[in-house]
Structure 1
Amino acid sequence: MSTVYLPPRLFKRATLSLAALALLVLMVGVAVGVGELPIPLQTTFDSISNKLGLSAVPVNRIHETVIWDFRLSRALVAACSGAGLALCGVVLQCLLKNALAEPYVLGVSAGASAGAVSVVVLGLGTGAVSLSAGAFTGAFAAFVFVALLTNGARGGSERTILAGVAASQLFNAVTAYIISTSANAQQARDVMFWLLGSFSGVRWPEFSLVLTVVLLGLAVCLWYAKALDAFTFGEDAAASLGIPVGPIRLILFSITALMAATIVSMAGSIGFVGLVVPHVMRYFFGPLHRPLLLASAVAGALFMMLADIVSRTAIAPQTLPVGVVTSLVGVPFFAVILYRARRSA
C-alpha cells in the first residue's frame, strides 16, 4: 500500500489549517453552550448535525430553539466580526506603516457609528439608505478626514495617530449631539449600549451579510498579499517593483472601510481587536502577509467569541458590552506598543 508524502512546508500548513478549524468549531460550540441555560457541547453538535441532514439524533426542543434562534447566529457573527476587524488592522498597519493603526484608533469606527446613528435616530434616507450604508458612509468620511490631515505631511506615523484621535473626537461629538438632541430616552439608552459593542440583537440575516463582506475582504486582501509585502518597505519601493500604488491603496482602504462599517452597523464600535491580534500573529507567523492575513482572521474570530463569552458571564445575569472586554485587553497592549516605540526612537 503506497503512502502519500507531503513536503514539510505543506504538511505544516495542513496541520495548522486543521488545528485552526478544530479550534474554531470548538469555540463555536463553547459559545453556544454558555448562558443562563447551559447547553452541553454534544447537544450543540448533534443539533447542527441534524440541521445539516447528517444525523437524526433526538435533541431537547428548548435547547434546539435556543441554539438556532439565538446563540449560534450570535457566535458566528462574533467570529466574522473578529476576523474582519483583525484583517482591517493588518491592512491599515501595513499601508500606514504604523504599529498603532486600526479602525478604532484611526476614527473609522467612530465615523461608522456616527453614520449608523444618523440613519437610526434621524431617519436619514429611510427606505433608501440602510444601516450598513450609513455606517459605510461615516467610515469612509473618517478615512477622508484622516487622509486630508496627513496628506503630504512629514512624520506620518505620529500625525496619523493624531489625525485619528481628532477624527474620533469629531465623530463621537457628532454622535453625542445627535443622541442628545434627537433621540428619546429609550433610543438614547439602546444606542449608547450598542455603541459600546453588543451582539445581543444579531440573527441569521446579519450573519449572511457579515460573512459575505468578510469573505470578500479576505479574498481581496489575499489577492494583494504580495503588494502588501512590498508596501512594508514603503510606497517608493512598491512603485519600483511595478505596483500601482494609488489604485491598490484605494481598493484596500475601501475594503477596510466596508468591513469596519458592516461590523459597526451590526455590533457597534468594538475597539482594539485590530490592534492586538495582528501584532500577536506577526510574532508567531512573521511579516509575510499571506500567512499573516489567514492567521489573523482565525485568531480574530477566536478572540471575539471569547470576548463575547466573557461579556455574557462576567456580571451574569447582566450583560457587559463586548467593547469593554476588548478594551480591557487592548488598552494595556496599546500602552506596551507605545512604550516600545518610545524606547526604540
Structure 2
Amino acid sequence: MYHLIFIVKIKIIMNVCIIGEGLTALSLAKSLINKKINVHYYYKSKNSNFSSNRTIGISKSNFEFFKEKIFQISKNNYWKINRIEIYTDKIDTENLLKFENDKNDLFYIIKNDELLKSLNSNLIKNKFFKKIILSKNINEEFLNKKGYDLIINCDANNFLAKKYFTKKISKNYYNLAYTTILKHKKIENNTATQIFTKQGPIAFLPISSTETSVVYSMDIKNKKFDNSDVIDLINKNNPKYLINKIDKLNSFELSSSNLRNYYHKNILAFGDMLHRVHPLAGQGFNMTIRDLRILTKIIEDKIELGMQLDSQIFDEFEKKTKDKNFVFSKAIDLIYESFNLDKKVQNKSFSKIIKNIGKNKNLNNYFIKLADVGINF
C-alpha cells in the first residue's frame, strides 16, 4: 500500500506597524513589503520638510545590499567616491591618512531628499503599504487593538520611546553640525576630504562634478559661531574648489547614545534610537543598514519556516547586534576624542604617529574593510 503525503504550505498574513518618518523608517518599510508583509506606516505630518542640503554616505557593501534587497537607487541619485584624504591643520599640505582602492569604489554619496522622495513615491503605489497620520488619539492601547505582529519604533520622542526606551548610555559632544552644499566650477570630483581643524572636523563630500556637500562639526562649548563665521571657516579650509555659491546653512546638535534594551515585548526600537554616533566617520546610517540587514534576514528565515512573526525575532536581533554596535560606537567616539585632544596639544607627535600607521598597507586595508562591513565577531 502506498501512502501519499501532501505538504501544504500555509500562507500566513503578517502585519507590521512602523512609527516614525525619514530614511530609516521608509527603508525598513520597503524592505518588509518586498517580503509581502503588510506595513502600516505612522508618521507625524503631511508636509514633512526634508532638508535639501543633507547627504549620506553609504559604504560599498551596504550600497549593494540596499540596491539588491531594498530599493534600486537611480544612477542619477548617487555619486561614487574612490578616495578619502584626511588632514589636520597642524600639517598644512601633506595628508595625514589616505584610503583608496584601485579596484573598487569606497562608498557613495546620496542626497537625503532625493532618496526619500524616490522611496516614498515607490511605497505609496504598493498594496502592502498604508500611510497613517500619527494623531494624538493614537496610543499603545490603540496599537494593541490593531493586532500588529510587530511594532517597530523609529521615533525617539514619542509615547513608546518615553515609556520603554529611556535607559541609554549618552554623551553630549557640545558640537553643532553645520551642513551646506557648495556649487563650484566643474572638476574631477571623486575624492572625499576631511580636515581636523581647531574648531572641529570638516568634511567635503562630492555629490557631482560641480557640487560638494559640507559637514562641519564645530565645538561650541567655549565659543559660539554665527553663519558668517562658519562660511568664513569653510572658505578658509576649502581644499580645492573654485566656489560659485554656498547654499543656506542648516545645523543640528551632536550627541552619542547606545540604548540598553532594544525591545519590549513586541515593540522594537530602531535606527538612531539604538545608536547615535558622531558624523565624523560617516557611519550613522551605515550602522542602521547593517542592523536592517540582520533584522530582515531573521524575518526572512521565519517566513521560510512558515512561522508567525513575534518578539523572538527581536530577542535574536538584539543578541546579534547589541555588542557589535556598542563596540563600534565606542571606536568612533575614541577617534573623535583622540583628535579632540590632539588639537589642544601644541605639537605634531600624534599626527605623525597616525601618519605612520596610515603607511602600513595591511592596517590601511583593515580600516577600509571595517568602514565597509563593520565589526564581525
Structure of higher CA gyration radius? 2
Q: Which has the higher helix share?
A: 1
TM-score range, shorter chain: under 0.3
Q: Which has the higher strand share?
A: 2
- So what's the TM-score if we normalise by structure 2? 0.25
- So what's the TM-score if we normalise by structure 1? 0.26
